[in-house]
Amino acid sequence: MSELTLDTVLDGIAAVFLVVGGLMSLAAGLGLVRFPDLHSRMHAATKPQVLGLLMLVLAASIMWRSWAWVAIALLAWGLMILTAPVSAHVVGRAGYRTKHMRTDLLTHDELASTVDRLSRQRGVRREVTDD
Amino acid sequence: MMLDYAYWITQVLLALGALGAVYRVYKGPSVLDRVISVDVILIIVGSIMLADMAYGRHQDYILFVVVTAVIGFLGAVAIARYVAVRTPDSEDTVRQAEAQARAITGESAPEEPEAPTATSSPGAADESTSWFAALARSGFVPKRNKDDDENPTGEDNPAPGTSSNPGGGEQK
């Protein structure tokens, strides 16, 4: 450890990436335990999907020291980036429509005002009443 | 070595995150909370495999990570679609569907759907609402506006509607 070779530098960077990825997972766990409603828990739950997985993929790529496996690891992360918004969108939409949210914690509900404006024009159902 | 410490610290942090997600699966008030927590558990398992691959310099589990990234969202999408059907006013939609089914088959409605509309209109002989009472007695089941489900003042709407509708119709 006395001399600073390239291997030790790369191992140190990989170690930092590993710990940061673990911290993202810990943040997701704490957010899932402590946050009050569904949409804020969804906000916490996307941390290890995007940032934590990126950190761990970069750590693994650095440790492998192979450009081919870097491509495959970044392919896995890119596919996760592509598919994570789909489930987040559908779950958030279902949670909004079935009122799994605490409207008293919101400062401004732009979707409710939009749905309200559309319901005055046509027959769109107002989904959340904030009275 | 520094990498050993980083590896074990990472595994402990991932395990704590998985414990938080498991707590939310156990405690979660709705099925959507459980769905996103199960997704987080899946991602954390992939992260544990990635950390082990980075520490051991092998690529044994990379296929699991790739396949998880591709099809991991399907379970959440499927369950969320089923949750979206089960709205709190599902009894209203069931009653509406039964009324439509009776209207199609020509069967007379047993007791419930006509009685409130016929009796709850106080001024049945009134000129402005008599058309509504006649419509209610005729057994015609219209397509309900979706606004009527949650609008408590739905009974007030026909009265101003009659003042403007027979005269000029729509103003457009």
For B137-156, b/e burial (b = at least 16 CB within 10 A) is eeeebeeeebbebebeeebe
A68 shares its domain with A126: no
B146 vs A contacts (CB less than 8 Å): 123-125
Query: Is the model more confident about B49 or about A121?
Result: B49
* Residues B61 and B14 occupy one common structural domain: yes
Evaluate whether residue B78 is within a structural domain: yes
Judge whether B76 lies within some domain. Answer: yes
Domain identity same for A55 and A65:
yes
Q: Is residue A95 part of a domain?
A: yes
B8 shares a domain with B60: yes
Higher pLDDT, B158 or A65: A65
Report the pLDDT value the prediction gives residue B141, as an integer from 0 to 100: 66
Q: Which chain A residues have a beta carbon less than 8 Å from that of B14?
A: 22, 25-26
Q: Tell me which residue range forms the domain holding A24.
A: 6-100
For position B73, what pLDDT does the model report?
A: 86
Q: Which of B70, B85, B100 is the last residue of a domain?
A: B85
Domain, as residue range, for B129: 111-141
- Do residues B23 and A28 make contact, with C-beta atoms less than 8 angstroms apart? no
* A58 at B interface, C-beta within 8 A: no
Q: Are A64 and B57 in contact (CB under 8 A)?
A: yes
A53 neighbors B50 (Cβ within 8 angstroms) = yes
CB contacts, 8 Å: B77 with chain A: 86-87, 90
Q: pLDDT-based confidence at B99, cuts 50/70/90?
A: confident
pTM of the model: 0.66
Report the chain A residue with the minimal C-alpha distance to residue B69.
A80
The pair of structure tokens assigned to A125 is 């159902």
Query: Does one domain contain both A53 and A39?
Result: yes
In a shared domain, residues B128 and B72: no
Is B120 exposed, middle or buried, given 0-12, 13-18 or 19+ CB atoms closer than 10 A? exposed
Q: Three-state SS across chain B? A: CHHHHHHHHHHHHHHHHHHHHHHHHHHCCCHHHHHHHHHHHHHHHHHHHHHHHHHHCCCCCHHHHHHHHHHCCHHHHHHHHHHHHCCCCHHHHHHHHHHHHHHHHCCCCCCCCHHHHHHCCCCCCCCCCHHHHHHHHCCCCCCCCHHHHCCCCHHHCHHHHHHHHHHHCCCC
Does residue B45 belong to any structural domain of this protein? yes
Q: What is the tally of structural domains in chain B?
A: 2
Shared-domain flag, residues B68 and B18: yes
The total of structural domains in chain A comes to 2
Rounded CA gap, B150 and B92, in Å? Answer: 10
| B79 and B35 in a common domain | yes
Asked if A56 lies within 8 A of B51 by C-beta distance, the reply is yes
Name every chain B residue with its beta carbon within 8 A of the beta carbon of A35.
Answer: none
For residues B60 and B121, membership in a common domain is answered with no
In DSSP notation, A31-63 reads: HHHH-SSHHHHHHHHTHIIIIIHHHHHHHHHHH
ipTM above 0.95, yes or no: no
Two tokens, residue A7 = 């291997």
Same domain, A93 and A118: no
Is residue B77 domain-shared with residue B128, that is, in the same domain? no
Measured between CA atoms, how close is A40 to chain B, in angstroms?
Answer: 10
A1 within domain boundaries: no
The answer to whether residue A90 sits within a structural domain is: yes
Average the pLDDT over each of A9-13, B18-22, B168-172 and give the range with the smallest value. Answer: B168-172
Considering the domain architecture, whether residues B116 and B81 belong to the same structural domain is answered as no
A21 & A82 share domain: yes
Q: Give the pLDDT confidence score for residue A20 in this predicted structure.
A: 93
Is residue B54 pLDDT above 50, yes or no?
A: yes
Question: How distant is the alpha carbon of residue B140 from its chain centre?
Answer: 29
